[in-house]
Amino acid sequence: MSNTSSNNNRILVIGSNGKTGRRIYKKLTDKNIPVVGATYSGNPKFDWNDSATWENVLNNINGVYISYYPDLAVPGAVKVIAAFCDLAVQKGVQKLALLSGRGEEEAQQCEKIVMNAGVDFTIVRASWFCQNFSEGHFLEPVLAGEVALPVGNVGEPFVDADDIADVAVAALTEDGHSNKIYEVTGPRLLTFKDAIAEIAQATGKDIRFEQVSMDAYAAMLAEYGVPKDFIWLVTYLFTEVLDGRNESIKDGVQQALGRKPTDFSEYVRKAVATGVWG
């Protein structure tokens, strides 16, 4: 009997090798909470584009962290999230926590699906991750000393992925987070140029920021062999999401955790200590 109850407390982390999923998986493991990681290369395999791979990972699962790859803004994501939530609820899942994006219309459609699934939900609506500079697509340009992006003087409240993970873990393991939308941001607005300047100062390296046109940036990505659908996504994010609509700070981290969010300079300090920009 005890085995069944522990099984039913299991949490499924989708994308447990991703920026947020990896952190959530570790934090749950550290708390001795039974957790299942679902990845494209894992066993059992989980593939958003193949619904036949979903059922296995949903056996005896109580809560699910939903991180959709590559982004909820991608055409077709709304249908996929709807089908997944239907199956999860059929399989007895009691709680859904969705990683969502600020200012993305399609992401908000996915939020509504999760909110109307008929079980407890928490929406974690996040700004751009600080970790994009140390674990993501901007790492290589930072290391090369030249970051060219199609964005100008728009402020973004970069959020630390560790804060997102803490909010998601709280939502999936504690009372008081059901049916909440937490809009999580960092505590201040920085332009991408500001962010690069902070990294340059902390590392003592000469890292230049250059604003380029969207067309020039897309052409550059194509030249590097980046897939067309990813170029589409990047174009969408830089033209739609970074048009100033998200130039505001929200208190989702404070609401969920009772503490202030991590400042960008603190993230930079931690990243420098890892040697990632060495």
- Of the candidates 106, 251, 241, 130, the one whose C-alpha atom is nearest the C-alpha of residue 180 is 251
Task: Provide the CB-side half-sphere exposure for 16 (13 A, CA).
Answer: 23
Separation CA 104–CA 157 (nearest Å): 16
Report the pLDDT value the prediction gives residue 3, as an integer from 0 to 100: 35
Model pLDDT for residues 67-90, shown as the tens digit of each residue = 999 999 999 999 999 999 999 999
Residue 110 covered by a domain: yes
Round the average pLDDT of the chain to a whole number and report it.
95
In this structure, are residues 186 and 127 in contact, taking their beta carbons and an 8 Å threshold?
Answer: yes
Model pLDDT for residues 94-118, shown as the tens digit of each residue = 999 999 999 999 999 999 999 999 9
Q: Which domain holds residue 33?
A: 2-128+159-186+247-261
The CA distances from residue 22 to 131, 135, 208, 252, in Å, are 13, 12, 31, 21
Report the pLDDT value the prediction gives residue 6, as an integer from 0 to 100: 47
pLDDT band per the 50, 70, 90 thresholds, residue 7:
low
The CA distances from residue 211 to 132, 156, 216, 257, in Å, are 17, 16, 10, 36
What total of structural domains would you count in the chain? Answer: 1
Report the pLDDT value the prediction gives residue 44, as an integer from 0 to 100: 82
Residue 221 covered by a domain: no
Structure tokens at 54: 């979903």
Residue 140 covered by a domain: no
Report the pLDDT value the prediction gives residue 9, as an integer from 0 to 100: 82
* pLDDT higher than 60, residue 198: yes
Residue 150 covered by a domain: no
pLDDT band per the 50, 70, 90 thresholds, residue 43:
confident
Question: What phi, psi does 127 have (nearest 5°)?
Answer: -85, -175
Residue 45 covered by a domain: yes
- Say how many C-beta atoms besides its own lie within 10 A of residue 90's C-beta: 10
Report the pLDDT value the prediction gives residue 5, as an integer from 0 to 100: 41
* pLDDT higher than 50, residue 199: yes
* pLDDT higher than 70, residue 8: no
Model pLDDT for residues 17-28, shown as the tens digit of each residue = 999 999 999 999
Separation CA 72–CA 79 (nearest Å): 11
Structure tokens at 53: 């791979």
Report the pLDDT value the prediction gives residue 1, as an integer from 0 to 100: 28
Question: What phi, psi does 211 have (nearest 5°)?
Answer: -85, 130
Which CATH number does the domain housing residue 11 bear? 3.40.50.720
Residue 83 covered by a domain: yes
* pLDDT higher than 80, residue 45: yes
- Say how many C-beta atoms besides its own lie within 10 A of residue 110's C-beta: 25
Model pLDDT for residues 145-184, shown as the tens digit of each residue = 999 999 999 999 999 999 999 999 999 999 999 999 999 9
How does DSSP assign 11-51, residue by residue? EEEETTTSHHHHHHHHHHHHTT--EEEEBTTSSSB--TT-G
Residue 169 covered by a domain: yes
Residue 73 covered by a domain: yes
